Structure formats: structure tokens, C-alpha cells
Amino acid sequence: MMRFFRSAFVIARRDFTATVLSKTFIFFLLAPLFPLLFGGTFGSISARIASQSAKPVIAVVSSQQDFDRLSDARDELAQALGQDSAPKIIHYAPEANAAAQVKKLLASSDPPIRAVLTGGLDRPHLTGPIATDGNTTGQLRLLISNARVSAASEPSLPVTSVQASSGSLSNDRAVTAQIAQTILFVLTILLSGMLLSQLIEEKSNKIIEVIAAAVPIDAMFVGKLFAMLAASVTGLVVWISAGALLVQMIKHGGVATLPPPAIGWTGFLALTIIYFAMNYLLLGAAFLTIGAQASTAREVQTMSMPVTFGQMLLLLLASTAIGAPDSTEGIIAAIFPLSSPLTMLARAAESPQSWPHVVAILWQALWVGLILRMGSQLFRKTVLKSGPRTKWWKFGRA
């Protein structure tokens, strides 16, 4: 047994260093960052454009008292709907020639005045290049209406804060389950596809003979699988901060606002790592087995599309469990080895029980071993043409 693991380690070390120390690994690391880079670049350009096309400034030519009431009404609106939803207003004291003042203000570029409100709160009048029923007009109408109402007439609304209702919590956890499942799926689809072509190099440069003469084929499969898992984990370490940044960007308020999983954040993160490894090992073992049958890069390319579709079917199967982990579909998806990690991660977000995860992880580990065993036997049979003819029903025991 020691010899088996030592052999697997020799293969894994060679593959890991050959992968991680190659120049192409830098591109591998950078590839998923490109969308973020583009997002950031275009985001900053958009922000600059947005800042340049500043919100319309409304010049309010009125008494100080009227402006103060209007300003208070504006602040209330901004608090309820957000700063961007309320128009910016600036106060100007009335001048003797009102028409000339309006003309002068509209010609101003600093600040860029869009319209001028005159007549105070009693007889308001808006002048400027804006539509009668446009947003700005509507917002100002609302501000004036609120400013006219005295503070005493505001309705009181007492609030009693409670924890999230079970209905909303269940929905929120389903969101967490879906996000986690999608991330796991995307990571696996990005990383495990590499295993399809893992044996091409050995087969094309004939070193497979040297390896097959020295170590058991099973050890070679295990070594290759874990080498690529280690390379993927290296990539993940680089990407993880970028991933957190992405969540920060797409989710207002950041990671902290994600609905908490039923099993708790600590357990959930631990299970995410474990299920990623299991998902990678399961699919990777299957891909290694499939890819080992290919002799050329072209054959691998031909295989990659059906393999990707296969992965999408697994995601589809696993997603049926979201919201109903104990349904028949949910249990089938959890039992079927290749969809089990995705399904069980979603379950961790929705159900607080721990024991199903222990069972699932053992079950998945068993299948990793079985697939690897079948893969190496198939490789010996079909590629090395080894051994006597075996009936297919005795194949697993060969």
C-alpha cells in the first residue's frame, strides 16, 4: 500500500510541478480574472461618465424659509428612496429683475443648472429645458407637496423588529443554495475539464510505457487526479479574493448580506471545500477515464462538448433539490454519485442536519475509488490491451 501511495505521489508531484511551473499556468490563473478586469474597467468608465453627466441641479429662487422646507422634504425623499433618486437643489436669493436672474442661472455651467424654480411654495413655477411630465418635474412636484405639509401632520409608524420569518428565511436559504451550487458547478467545469487531456502527453510521447512498467496504473490515475486537484486549489487560492470581490460587487452590502445557510457559515464553508474536492475528484475521475481513451488532442476536443453538456445535466438534476432537499428528486440527486456533491452543498444551505453529509462524503469517496478503479482497468484493457478477455459482467472484478 505504501508503494502504491509513493508511486501516486511521484506521478502527482511531476504533474503538479509541470502544470504550476509552466508559463501557461499564469494564463490559467488570469483567465477567470479577465471578466472581473473588464467589469472593473468598464465600471470605472461608467462611473466617470456618470459623474460627468451630473444629476440635474435645480436652482431654487425663493425665501430662505421656503428653501429650508423644500430642502427638508428633499432629504426625506433621499432617505426613503436613495440619494440618487432625489434632485439636487441650490438656493438663490431673489433679485430685482427675476427674468434676467432666471436667464443668467440657466446659462451657468458651474453648477450646471437644469431648471429654475421660482415663486416659492405658494406659486411655484419651473423654467428650463425639461418636459412637463418628466421625472424631474414629477420629483419637484412631490417635494413641493411634502414641503407644504407641516411636520405635525406626518403619520407615525411604530416598528417592531423581529428575526426573519420562516417563509422569507427559506427563500433566502434557497438563494444561498443556488449561489453555492452555481459557484461549485462553474469552478468544477472550469477546472476538471483539464483532466480529459491528462494522458495525451504520456501517450503521445510514449512515456506511458516507462510509467506502466514501473507503477500500477491505478496509482498513475490517482496521482494525476490529485495533482490536478492541487493545481486547481492553487488557482482557487488566487481566485478566492477575486470571487469575494465579485460578490461584493453584485450583492449590495457584500458577502455579509448573503442569507445565512441552515448549517451555519463555518460548517457551510468547510462543506463547500469538501464538496468542491469531492465534485472535482468524481468528475475528474470520470473525465480521466474518458480522456484516457483518446489518442489525440482532436479526439479530446471532440469529447469536451458532450462532457460539458453532461455536467450541465448534473447541475440540472442537482438544482431540482433546491427548496425541497427531502423530495424524491432531491434524494435521487443526492444519491447519484456525480450530482451528489452539488446537491448536498445545496442541502447544507437549507437543512441544519449534519449526519447526511457524513454519509454523503463517504458515499462519494467510495465512488471516486470505484471510478478510478474502473478507469484504470479500462485503460489497461483498451489502451494497453492487457490481460485475458473478460466478460463485461466480470469487468469490475478484473
Partner 1 sequence: MLRQAQHERIAVEAVDLVKDFGDTRAVDGVSLSVPPGSIYGLLGPNGAGKTTTLRVLIGIIDPSSGMRRVLGRERPLEAAGEVGYLPEERGLYPAMHARDAIAFMGALRGLPVHEGRRRADQLLDEHNLGEWARKPIRSLSKGMAQTVQLLGTIVHRPKLIVLDEPFAGLDAINQGRLEELIRRETRAGATVLFSTHVIAHAERLCERVAIIAKGKVAFDGRVDDARAKLSSIVRLRTRSSDGPWRSALPAGTRREGDEWVFELPAAGPEPLLRALLDGGAGIEALAIERPGLHDAFVAIAGNKAAEQMGAEKVQ
> Which residues contact partner 1 by CB under 8 A?
3, 6-7, 10, 13-14, 18, 22, 201-202, 205-216, 380, 384-389
Cβ proximity to partner 1, 20 vs 332, nearer residue = 20
What is the C-alpha to C-alpha distance for residues 358 and 339, in angstroms, rounded to an integer? 16
Q: How far is the CB of 204 from partner 1 (least distance, A)?
A: 9
Cβ proximity to partner 1, 207 vs 324, nearer residue = 207
Q: How far is the CB of 197 from partner 1 (least distance, A)?
A: 15
Q: What is the DSSP letter of 113?
A: E
Cβ proximity to partner 1, 211 vs 286, nearer residue = 211
Q: How far is the CB of 11 from partner 1 (least distance, A)?
A: 8
What SS3 state is found at 99?
A: helix
Query: What is the CA 315 to chain-centroid distance, rounded?
Result: 15
Q: How far is the CB of 325 from partner 1 (least distance, A)?
A: 45
Q: How far is the CB of 208 from partner 1 (least distance, A)?
A: 7
Cβ proximity to partner 1, 3 vs 48, nearer residue = 3
Q: How far is the CB of 247 from partner 1 (least distance, A)?
A: 37
Q: How far is the CB of 205 from partner 1 (least distance, A)?
A: 5
258: left (phi over 0), alpha (psi -120 to 50) or beta: beta
Kindly compute the dihedral angle of the four CA atoms of residues 372, 376, 377, 379, in this order, to the nearest 10 degrees: 140
Cβ proximity to partner 1, 81 vs 384, nearer residue = 384
Which three cell numbers, joined as nine digits, stand for 13?
A: 508531484
CA distances from 40 to 43, 235, 246 (A): 5, 21, 10
Pair 85, 74: CB distance under 8 Å: no
| DSSP assignment of 337-385 | TTTHHHHHHHHHHH---SHHHHHHHHHHHHHHHHHHHHHHHHIIIIIS-
3-state class percentages of the chain: helix first, strand second, coil last, to nearest 5 = 70, 5, 25
Cβ proximity to partner 1, 253 vs 388, nearer residue = 388
Pair 118, 127: CB distance under 8 Å: yes
What is the C-alpha to C-alpha distance for residues 219 and 101, in angstroms, rounded to an integer? 87
Question: Can you give the length of the chain in residues?
Answer: 398
Rg of the chain, C-alpha, whole Å: 32
Cβ proximity to partner 1, 302 vs 386, nearer residue = 386
Cβ proximity to partner 1, 3 vs 141, nearer residue = 3
Q: How far is the CB of 372 from partner 1 (least distance, A)?
A: 17
What is the C-alpha to C-alpha distance for residues 368 and 279, in angstroms, rounded to an integer? 9
| Rounded to 5°, angle at Cα 305 from 203 and 183 | 105
Cβ proximity to partner 1, 180 vs 225, nearer residue = 225
Q: How far is the CB of 227 from partner 1 (least distance, A)?
A: 13
Q: Indicate the pairing of strand 88-92 with strand 57-61.
A: parallel
What is the C-alpha to C-alpha distance for residues 72 and 103, in angstroms, rounded to an integer? 27
Q: How far is the CB of 255 from partner 1 (least distance, A)?
A: 40
Cβ proximity to partner 1, 39 vs 216, nearer residue = 216
